[in-house]
Chains A and B, each alone.
Chain A
C-alpha cells in the first residue's frame, strides 16, 4: 500500500502547525495512531449493533410466541404475502450489501470514481427495496389488512374463496373460525411492526448514504480515512441480516404445514 497520498495530505494540510505535522488531519488527538482510532470506532459500532440485535430480538421473540399460540391465524396471515415481492426484495437487498462492500473496498484502495458509483448503486437498491415494500404495504391497505385502523377485515380468512388471488395459490386453505380469524390482526400487527422498523432503518441508511455521496465527491473517504464508510457498511449489512430473517419468518416458514 502506498501511503504517499496520506502523508502528502497530512503534511500539506497542516503545514506550519508542528502538532499536526506528524499525523494525518483526520486522526483525533486522543488516539495514538490512525489504526487505534479505526479499531476503537469499529468496536463502538459493533456495540451499537449488539443493542440493535437485542432490539429486533424482542420483536422476533414476540413473533415466535404469538405464532405458537395462534398458529392457524399466522399461517393464513402469512399466505397473504407475495413470495414474488419478498424474493425480489431479498435479492435487491443482497445486491445492495454487495455494492456497499465494494464501496468499502473502493475507499480502502482510494478509488474515488468507483466509490461514488458503488455508493450510488447502494442508494438505488435501497430505494428500490423501499418502493417494493411500499407496493406490498399498499396492497394490505387496499385489502383492509392494516391492523387497528382502516376497518380491519377478516373476510379473507372466514371465507378464503372471497380472496381469489390468494385462494388460487392456496386452494387447500380452510376457513378459520371467527375467534381465530380475528387473531390474523396480530399477525399483521407484527408484520407491520417488524417490516416497518426494518424500513425505518433503511430510510435512515438512505439518508446517511446521500450525505456520504456528497462527502465522497469532495474526496473525504479516499485519502486513507475509511472509518465512516466501513462503519456505515456494518450498519447496512446488519439491516440486510435482519431482512434475511424477516423473509424466512414472515414469508417462507408458513407456506406449508
Chain B
C-alpha cells in the first residue's frame, strides 16, 4: 500500500538524449549483426531423429528479441514505468507466448496439412 502511495506521488521520469543515442547505436549494431549472421551457414543441432534445430533462425530471432527488449525498456520507458505498466507488458507478452507456443507445438507434432 505504502509502495503504491509513493509511486503515484513520484515525478514523471525523463529519459536523457544520451540514453536514446546509446540505444540507437545498439539497435544499429544489432541490425548489422543479424544481417551479417544471415550470410553464414550456422548449421543445425540434430536433437533426435526427425527433430532438428537450425541455428540461423534461432540467432535471427534472438537478436530481434534483444532489439525489441531495448525498444520496450528504453524508447517505450517501461524500465522507468510503474509496476502496473511492467506487469501489464509482461502479462501481455506471456499470454502471447502461451498462445503461439501451444498452437505451434500442436501443429508441429501432427502431420496435418502435409499433402
Residues of A within 8 A of B (CB): 1, 35-36, 38-39, 42-43, 46-47, 49-50, 53-54, 57, 60-61, 64-65, 68-69, 83, 87, 90-91, 94-95, 97-98, 100-102, 104-105, 108-109, 179, 226, 230, 233-234, 237-238, 240-241, 244-245, 247-249, 251-253, 255-257
Q: Is B99 positioned at the interface, with any CB of A under 8 Å from its CB?
A: yes
CB of B3 within 8 A of chain A?
no
Instruction: List 8 A–B pairs whose Cβ atoms lie within 8 Å, in order of A's numbering.
Output: A43-B85, A43-B88, A61-B100, A102-B17, A238-B76, A244-B67, A247-B64, A256-B42
Q: How far is the CA of A205 from the CA of B109 in the complex (A)?
A: 40
Residues of B contacting A: mostly: helix
Q: Which residues of B contact A (CB under 8 A)?
A: 8-12, 14-17, 20-21, 23-24, 27-28, 31, 34-35, 37-42, 44, 54, 56-57, 60-61, 63-64, 67-68, 71-72, 74-77, 81-82, 84-85, 88-89, 92-93, 95-96, 99-100, 103-104, 107-108, 113-115
B104 to chain A: closest residue by CB: A64
Among candidates A237, A245, A252, residue contacting B38 with C-beta atoms closer than 8 Å: A252
Shortest Cβ gap from B97 to chain A (Å): 9
Report, nearest first, the 9 A-B pairs whose CB atoms are least far apart: A50-B92, A253-B57, A98-B24, A252-B38, A248-B64, A248-B60, A255-B38, A108-B14, A256-B41
The answer to whether A46 and B20 have CB atoms under 8 Å apart is no
A42 in contact with B85 given A247-B64, A257-B41 (CB within 8 Å): yes
CB distance from B98 to the nearest CB of A (A): 11
**Contacts A87-B31, A233-B76: A36 and B8 contacting too (C-beta < 8 A)?**
yes
Q: Specify which chain A residues have a CB less than 8 angstroms from the CB of B95 in the assembled complex.
A: 50, 54
Whether the pair A57, B100 counts as a contact (CB closer than 8 A) is yes
Chain A contacts for B67, CB-based, 8 A: 241, 244
Across the interface, do B89 and A244 meet the contact criterion of CB distance under 8 Å? no
Determine the chain A residues whose CB is within 8 A of the CB of B17 once the complex forms: 102, 105
Hey, which chain A residues are within 8 Å of B75, CB to CB? 97-98, 100-101, 233, 237, 240
User: In whole angstroms, how far apart are the Cα atoms of A194 and B52 in the complex?
Assistant: 27
The answer to whether B99 and A256 have CB atoms under 8 Å apart is no
Q: Using CB atoms, name the residue of chain B closest to A241.
A: B68
- The smallest C-beta distance from A122 to any residue of chain B, in angstroms, reads 12
User: How far is A98 from B67 in the complex, measured between Cα atoms in Å?
Assistant: 13
Partner of B8, one of A35, A42, A43, A105: A35
Chain B residues near A102 (CB, 8 Å)? 17, 20
Given contacts A42-B81, A233-B76, A244-B64, 14 further A-B contacts (CB under 8 A): A50-B95, A53-B92, A65-B103, A65-B113, A83-B38, A95-B24, A97-B71, A101-B23, A102-B17, A102-B20, A109-B14, A179-B115, A253-B56, A255-B39
Contact for B114 among A35, A69, A87, A238, CB less than 8 A: A69
- Enumerate chain B residues within 8 angstroms of A244, measured Cβ to Cβ: 64, 67-68, 71
Q: How far is the CA of A198 from the CA of B69 in the complex (A)?
A: 19
A240 touching B34, Cβ below 8 Å: no
Instruction: Provide the residues of chain B in CB contact with A105, threshold 8 Å.
Output: 14-17, 20
Whether the Cβ atoms of B85 and A46 lie closer than 8 Å is yes
Determine the chain B residues whose CB is within 8 A of the CB of A87 once the complex forms.
31, 35
